[in-house]
A and B are shown apart, each in its own frame.
Chain A
Amino acid sequence: MLATALRVSEDATAREAKPLDARPREKPAPKGVSTSPLRPAPSATGIGVTIRDLTKAFDGHTVIAGLDLHIPAGQFVAVVGRSGCGKSTLLRLILGLEQPSGGRIGLEAQAVRTPPKRIMFQEPRLLPWARVVDNVAVGLGEDGSRAERRTKAQAALAEVGLSEKAGNWPATLSGGQRQRVALARALVSRPGLLALDEPLGALDALTRIDMQAMIERIWRAQGFTAILVTHDVAEAVAMADRILVVEAGRIALDVTVDVSRPRRRGDADLAALEGRILDHLLSERAPA
């Protein structure tokens, strides 16, 4: 934990003294492309997502209602919205965990072999009867020999700063450490798309900040497409290139966060953006 905290502060001091440029755009979901100017080179490893007129209904109750969206490969997108707005369903549809009732979801990758899609759940969901390193190796499926999988799992554990816990049982780890093991499991297969379904919701405030910095750092190094579903607007603003506000199964707001990385907590532009999104969310239920 200490190592992570130190790394965060190092990043913060190494921050470029570039003038901040926060120009949030506010318009309904465009059918075209909306790339962040801060990531000029399109990612070669990420998976792009194109969604056309997507609908999903459970027992006649519409959860996603004609949604259009394009996520360029390598973008970090945060999806925020009130409980029950359909944001988790959207994530599950993109991952193929649910089948759409109508419309189309297209995934495109530049690599010859499409990299896998991975998800980090709100709970770590580690196998209690497998050692930490074997839990990470679950992310590799059945490819390669057991020794190869273990080597890769060890490397992924090193990336989240838990090398020394490789032989432990999950029951002996703290909540934050377990979620870091889950992150290593999600990343060990070098995914092209990482879905994060409120993965930090159950952590304490300081551990959350550490984890946010860790996810951001690994995302910058690996270039996968990240889709973060969260209740926490501050978290979305701190981490994402782009924020989607989902309301009644549609994208109500699509905002690009033009703030350079690494971002500083409490930055005035970020705070202003956070305020605007919160205002939007809170006004949703206001009487028409």
Chain B
Amino acid sequence: MTVSFKTRTLERLTPWLVPAAILLGWQVAASTGLVSTRFMPAPSGVLAAGWQAARSGELWTNLSISFARAAVGFLIGGGIGFALGLANGLSRLSERLTDTTLQMIRNIPHLSLIPLVILWFGIDEEAKLFLVAIGVFFPVYANTLHGIRSVDPQLVEMGRVYGMSPVSLFTRVVLPGALPSIFVGLRYALGIMWLTLIVAETISASSGLGYMAMQAREFMLVDVVVLAIVIYAGLGKAADAVTRLLERKFLAWNPAYRNA
């Protein structure tokens, strides 16, 4: 019992060994003067900057603004992507009508729209939301479509033979069958969501994490710049952890996810 508990704790700690070692090496290098703190502050310095920003309230304001932008943009883009993925997966007509257009737009790097977006929206909220929404739209759309297309036709036939209505055929066979692929899209989309938001905030914003980092650069506050980068890493990890949790809950039937 204790042995299995110990091994489990150890297993849970293993992924964190490398980040911890890097932090330790970094701290040693900075405090021994091996690396100049003008270019790379020590972890303790970053921590201090974080504490200061948190106390002044600046960190929370910027963090919550960025988070709200990410969430709203994600809901809009992901929602439309999911709806169109479902529609095009279920209806040939809808696919014929829209898929070619979407595939053309998909090949435009969405960040290349930034100049246009600034012309349209200035540096207002819409600009950021638009970019995030476009960015998350495609992975959600493509993976939802693929998921629905790859549902086992034998199971669909079984559902029909056993008298399922179109609605229960969708909720009991098609959607659960598409779910693993939809989750892949979700993960991609979360990554793109942060990427887009940070780029957009760095280029054109008056608040948010990206803005905080850009402002700190102007005042040569390296510790704040590094703090922002560390927070990105933490946010990315948090988004990933949430997806994993959802996967474990909704894909428990799938042996590939059971012990992931």
Contacts and interface: CB of A to CB of B under 8 A. Distances in A.
Q: Is chain B a partner of chain A in the same complex?
A: yes
State which size class the interface on A falls in.
Answer: 20 to 34
Contacts of B219: none
A142 B252 contact: no
Interface SS of chain A: loop
Interface in A257-277: none
Contacts of A95: 161
B158 to A, nearest CB: 4
Nearest to A143: B163
State which size class the interface on B falls in.
Answer: 20 to 34
Given A141-B162, A142-B168, A169 B252 contact: yes
Contacts of A128: 253-254
Nearest to A138: B162
Contacts of B173: 127
B172 interface: yes
A171 B253 contact: yes
Interface in B215-260: 251-255
B254 A125 contact: no
A212 to B, nearest CB: 23
A119 B164 CA distance: 14
Contacts of B251: 129
B4 interface: no
Contacts of A185: 162
Contacts of A118: 162
A139 B161 contact: no
A130 interface: yes
B23 interface: no
Interface string A51-74: 000000000000000000000000
Contacts of B159: 138
Contacts of A138: 158-159, 162, 164, 172
Nearest to B256: A171
Interface string A103-121: 0000000000000101101
B254 A171 contact: yes
A125 B158 contact: yes
B257 to A, nearest CB: 11
A130 B161 CA distance: 18
A119 B173 CA distance: 18
A138 B161 CA distance: 11
Contacts of A171: 253-255
B155 interface: yes
A97 B255 contact: no
B253 A142 contact: no
A119 B254 contact: no
B154 interface: yes
Contacts of A141: 162-164
B165 A142 contact: yes
B154 A123 contact: yes
22 contacts: A97-B157, A97-B161, A116-B163, A121-B154, A123-B154, A125-B154, A125-B157, A127-B173, A127-B176, A128-B253, A129-B176, A129-B177, A130-B176, A138-B158, A138-B162, A138-B172, A139-B162, A142-B165, A169-B252, A170-B253, A171-B253, A171-B255
Interface of A: 95, 97, 116, 118-119, 121, 123, 125, 127-130, 138-139, 141-142, 169-171, 185
A-B complex: 10 closest residue pairs judged by Cβ atoms: A129-B176, A125-B158, A129-B253, A169-B253, A141-B163, A171-B255, A128-B253, A125-B154, A138-B162, A119-B161
